[in-house]
Amino acid sequence: MQSTAKKAAMPAITLAALGVVFGDIGTSPLYALRQCFLTAHIAITEATVLGILSLIFWCMMLTISFKYVTVIMRADNNGEGGIMSLLALNLRTTRIAENKKIYLIALGFVGASLFFGDGIITPAISVLSAIEGLSIATPMFNDWLMPLAIGILAGLFWVQRHGTGTMGKLFGPLTLVWFLSIGLLGLWSVMQTPFVLAMISPHWALNFVFHQPFVAFLTMGAVILTMTGGEALYADMGHFGRMPIRLAWFIIVLPALLLNYAGQGALLLRNPSAIENPFYLLVPEWALYPMIGLATAAAVIASQAVITGVFSMVNQAIQLRYLPRLAVNHTSDVEQGQIYLPFINWVLFFSVLILIVLFKTSANLASAYGVAVTMTMLCGTILISVLAYGFWRWPVWKVALFAIPFLLIDLVFVASTSLKIAAGGWVPILIGAVVFTIMMTWKDGRAIVFKRLEKDALPMDLFIKSVSLSDETIFVPGDAIFLTGTPNIVPHAMLHNIKHNKVLHERNIMITVITRDVPYVPLIERVRVEQMAPRFYRIFVYYGFKDQPNIPKALEQAYEQLNFELDMMQTSFFISRDRLIHTVGDGMAPWREKLFISMQRNTSPVSDFYQIPPNRVVEMGSQIQI
């Protein structure tokens, strides 16, 4: 009965997946093929058109259909995908030495940082390329293209705070119309020049590579644009499952994309001057304005999918303690995954704004786009190869059989796009370097702080023994909750409470939040309770990296196990607000220490992040030298 229900729901889930997963790769035909010819100023001949189309066909089949859809999507972390899930799976393996895992973490951080760069470039290039069709209709719009793009994107980022649940219902049907439209446009053109279907034969690609190796090498930097968004197939697996994404790809997306690229190629064979904008010149004159409107809607959907992906990735990194706490707003009472991060939203918007003003056209932005995509794909290939060896226990020969060809392909892409660094490729590298530095600094800084705390700390068992034996200890009514990341040592807030207020509460409860390397932790495994002494308790609260922490709810669950009654008016949450002081000595470089201190001072309050009522919070300050 359950499998019948799942089969019945499959078409609806597949339609929903279309709108979220394939928006980015689905808008690539707007600019990708044109860029392939413009990158190396290639003359349009039968050999070059079929050679480039053959490269596109085989790269999509090998990289997207085989590497991502067939192999990488097997690497699910309790159903979840994405770079953070892949990193978490890799960190579990016992076949990799612990001291080597820092390299895996660094690689995961590089991939995540580049994905952030992708989240800035995708909205800019997608929306710009969509509305550039207006210049095909009439030159009067030429001066308005940039303001129109900025206006559309400003509206998109503005509505993020209201949530995207309502808009999301339209995404699937609109994207289906988009893919059917571009597929039919391509089919109509192919029917006029059916010879273009010879692109399926790899000999055209090989002929192009052997006869014009340097030109083909340059072209690969633009061919990658046909695969932008391919990593989203894996990243969004947790929302829809493996099968709906695979069905949507093989039944709708792949045929529509290949038909459209073939149709654009057929148009170029008939009319080489169509290279000006082969996508829009495929469209009949009567359908041009509706197509521009549909392309703009598809570009907005692609941008929305990437923005949501960035929100999700940042939230996962925060939960895994790889980024400082930020304000996270939940925009839906029903869907747990619908979140809004105000700070990240406006950082993305102003970054996109700067990119549009700097680059002005989608053709200029294409140089910046390829670098981020190729490096992200290279990180993914390395991580999945390590996972196959360490987690799936593949033999070395089998790992090599998979890894070597794809590493070679990825390295060719990286080398080709690296030639564009001066023309705009520096943008994602700069963005990635900034985000990577922030993540590594936060990770290392937290480790240093915990070492300092443990070095100067008082063990919990000794403290309990001393206060229990002392006749001078005064216990007052009520419950005191102490949030601590080091459960075996006395929280600073507790020490300050007894030092300055000379009292302890009737019940003193230490809560330690632990984020597991799984997406979600079942409610039954949420809390673990230990009684250390008659008045002292320790509670461990477990969350997955996609769970949203809620300490009051976890406390209710723990109190049920202890047979206590939770009265919020008799409960105080004591939180240490540590003030970090930079000192010269061991640790990080001085500029990194100052960056870490700045981030620590600007983190979202603990009470907000853990959804603790503000009127029940008592903050106790302390100073830590790092």
Residue 584 has what pLDDT? 66
Residue 165 has what pLDDT? 57
Query: In DSSP terms, which residues pair with 77 in a beta bridge?
Result: 80
* Cα–Cα dist 488/469, whole Å: 20
pLDDT digits (tens, 9 = 90+) for 357-381: 888 888 888 877 888 888 888 988 9
CATH number at residue 322: 1.20.1740.10
Domain residues for the domain of 374 are 2-444
Residue 415 has what pLDDT? 93
Handedness of CA 166, 171, 177, 178 (dihedral sign): positive
pLDDT interval class at 3 (50, 70, 90):
very low
* Most confident by average pLDDT, 312-321, 405-414, 606-615: 405-414
Does residue 525 sit within a domain? Answer: yes
Does residue 280 sit within a domain? Answer: yes
Helix (H) or strand (E) holding 621: strand 617-625
Does residue 528 sit within a domain? Answer: yes
Does residue 450 sit within a domain? Answer: no
Does residue 453 sit within a domain? Answer: no
Residue 338 has what pLDDT? 66
Same domain, 351 and 238: yes
Which of 444, 470, 503 is the last residue before a domain boundary? 444
Full 3-state SS string of 204-268 = HHHHHHHHCHHHHHHHHHHHHHHHCCCCHHHHCHHHHCHHHHHHHHHHHHHHHHHHHHHHHHHHH
- C-alpha distances in Å from residue 157, one per residue of 40, 44, 232, 306: 35, 40, 20, 12
What lies within 8 Å, CB to CB, of 413 at 6+ separation is 220, 221, 223, 224, 370, 374, 377, 378
Same domain, 213 and 333: yes
Residue 163 has what pLDDT? 66
Does residue 451 sit within a domain? Answer: no
* 175-194 mean pLDDT: 96
Same domain, 434 and 464: no
Does residue 452 sit within a domain? Answer: no
* Cα–Cα dist 228/105, whole Å: 24
Burial class (CB in 10 A: 0-12, 13-18, 19+), 563: exposed
Nearest to 383 by CA among 64, 79, 68: 68
Which of 384, 418, 444 is the last residue before a domain boundary? 444
Same domain, 404 and 464: no
Which of 444, 475, 503 is the last residue before a domain boundary? 444
Place of tokens 């293209």: 145
Same domain, 485 and 607: yes
Same domain, 360 and 472: no
Same domain, 240 and 151: yes
Same domain, 422 and 469: no
Place of tokens 């090599």: 400
Listed as own residue / partner, the contacts of 447-455 with beta carbons closer than 8 Å and 24 or more positions apart are 448/587, 448/588, 448/626, 449/578, 449/580, 449/624, 449/626, 450/485, 450/486, 452/624, 452/625, 452/626, 453/486, 453/489, 453/492, 453/624, 454/486, 454/489
Amino acid identity, position 439: M
* Cα–Cα dist 496/366, whole Å: 57
Same domain, 163 and 282: yes
Same domain, 85 and 28: yes
pLDDT digits (tens, 9 = 90+) for 48-106: 999 999 999 999 999 999 999 999 888 887 777 888 888 888 888 777 777 788 888 88
Does residue 316 sit within a domain? Answer: yes
pLDDT digits (tens, 9 = 90+) for 421-450: 888 888 888 888 999 999 999 988 888 887
Amino acid identity, position 42: I
Both tokens of residue 189? 């053109």
pLDDT digits (tens, 9 = 90+) for 329-366: 766 554 555 678 899 999 999 999 999 988 888 888 88
* In contact, 367 and 218? CB cutoff 8 Å: no
Same domain, 532 and 620: yes
Higher per-residue pLDDT: 212 or 137: 212
The number of distinct structural domains making up the chain is 2
Both tokens of residue 244? 């709906």
Same domain, 439 and 465: no
